Amino acid sequence: MLDIKFIRENKEEIKIAAVNKNIELDVDYLLELDDMRKEMITEIDNLRAKRNNLAKINHGGKPSEESIQEGKSLKDEITKLEEKFGEIDSKYLDLMVKVPTIPSPDTPVNQDDSGNVEILQWGDIQKFNFEPKTHIELAESLDIVDFEKGTKVAGYRGYYLKGDGALLVMALMMYALDKMAQKGFTPFIPPTLVKSFPLFGSGYFKGREYNPEIDEIYQVSTPDKDATGEKIKEQKFLIGTAEPALLAYFSDQTFKEEDLPIKVSGFSPCYRSEIGSYGKDTKGLYRVHEFMKIEQVVVSRADVNESNKLQDEMLDISKELHEDLKLPYRILSICTGDMAAGKYRAFDIEAWMPGMNRWGETGSASNFVDWQSRRLNIRYVDKDGNKKFVHLLNDTALPSVRPFIAIIENYQQADGSIIIPEVLRKYMGGREVISKK
């Protein structure tokens, strides 16, 4: 969400950003609605003042019939204007939540992900002296993932990690959590069942409220109860990443400038409906409804050079994690058409998956500047005493299943066994190989 004054002053740039991000937005109509709102607020305030003055005149004495009628007339007029204002304000807010952040000058401009630009590639793509297997073949052969039982129990995209598969994934999570702590990020295990405001605030709702047709979020239908046993009508949702819960932890807070930046990392199960991905990656672990992830989040001063530098540092951690695992990877600069409305600057990291013979996304680093902090009301006081909205950044440290795919496909041997990456062995009892039992 952007400041309406900023939108007015940068109207043409906002229009261009909306087009480049494939967002249907009538900026001129938004500004007209804002003008109407202001006029109506003034009119309603004037009528209320008249009504208050009338009440003061009549205070202590019996009002005349004329005065009574005037009071009723003012009340009716105020009620009608308030109803009309509510309609206009609703339309205004519907448009306001769609206003995009103007992307950074170095963001590629294109209408879809074909415009993402590779800016770095690391590691040699391994040449096998045998036909590499897919992670599905390897996992089933080693009995470390059970897709059949997963589908039976959980439905489409369900799976069981078992035995060494479960240990390998937990080793990945512990390794990433340790790395983030070493880098100065305070570890969190946040709630994964949340109210709507963390998801709206972080931009996981496309509009003002949850829309099951387009928002890839699971809503929990069972009503909650309060301490007295009364049913709570408020909606609850399962998060798709720790980011919304971590950001909401800081909502409605005002920090001192010297307290920034704040760096936190979160471990969480993640749930995604993948409603926009039907027909894509229908087999295996690449696109699933639930997984685990270590996320990194930074709260920064409202200085774009500083927040970009912090974003680069977060991305460097993701690169280091891949390099420690010796997984070939590349970095993509994300173009406007593949970028969410609130993002100022974004990068993806993709690992090479030889069994699938392609790059696969394993993380994303985003700078939202003040778009999220305005929704969540997170501010700081600068050295001159001015209150400003912070910049908010997030980046994937490691998810569970996609690096799992990259590891077993890159580390596979001719006999079907998997070499365990050296940095993970201490979390697996010092073992070096996953092989058939």
Query: So which residues are the catalytic ones?
Result: 272, 287, 361, 364, 402
Give pLDDT tens digits for 273-291: 987 666 677 789 999 999 9
> Per residue in 319-359, pLDDT tens?
999 999 999 999 999 999 999 999 999 999 999 999 999 99
Tokens standing for residue 119 = 């800016």
Per-residue model confidence (pLDDT) at position 217: 94
CATH fold match for the domains 4-96 and 113-434: no
Judge residue 201's burial from the number of C-beta atoms within 10 Å of its C-beta, 0-12 exposed, 13-18 middle, 19 or more buried: buried
Please state which CATH class domain 4-96 belongs to: mainly alpha
- Residue ranges of the alpha helices (H) in 194-240? 196-202
b vs e for 139-178, b when ≥16 Cβ sit within 10 Å of the residue's Cβ? beebebbbbeebeeeeeebbbbbbebbebbbbbbbbbbbe
At the fourth CATH level, the homologous superfamily of domain 113-434 is: Bira Bifunctional Protein; Domain 2 (3.30.930.10)
Task: Say if residue 58's pLDDT is above 70.
Answer: no
Amino acid (one-letter) located at 252: D
Domain residue extents for the chain: 4-96, 113-434
Q: What pLDDT, in 10s, does the model give residues 29-50?
A: 999 999 999 999 999 999 988 8
pLDDT tens column, 219-238:
998 877 878 888 888 899 99
Predicted confidence at residue 59, as pLDDT, reads 62
Long-range Cβ contacts of 73-79 (<8 Å, 24+ apart)? 74/47, 74/50, 75/51, 77/47, 78/44, 78/47, 78/48, 78/51
pLDDT at 309: 98
pLDDT in tens, 353-376: 999 999 999 999 999 999 999 999
β-pairing, 358-367 vs 391-399, is antiparallel
CB 400 within 8 A of CB 431: no
pLDDT of residue 218: 95
Please report, in angstroms and rounded to a whole number, the separation of the first and last CA atoms in the chain. Answer: 55
Count other Cβ atoms within 10 Å, centred on residue 304: 16
Predicted pLDDT at 61 = 61
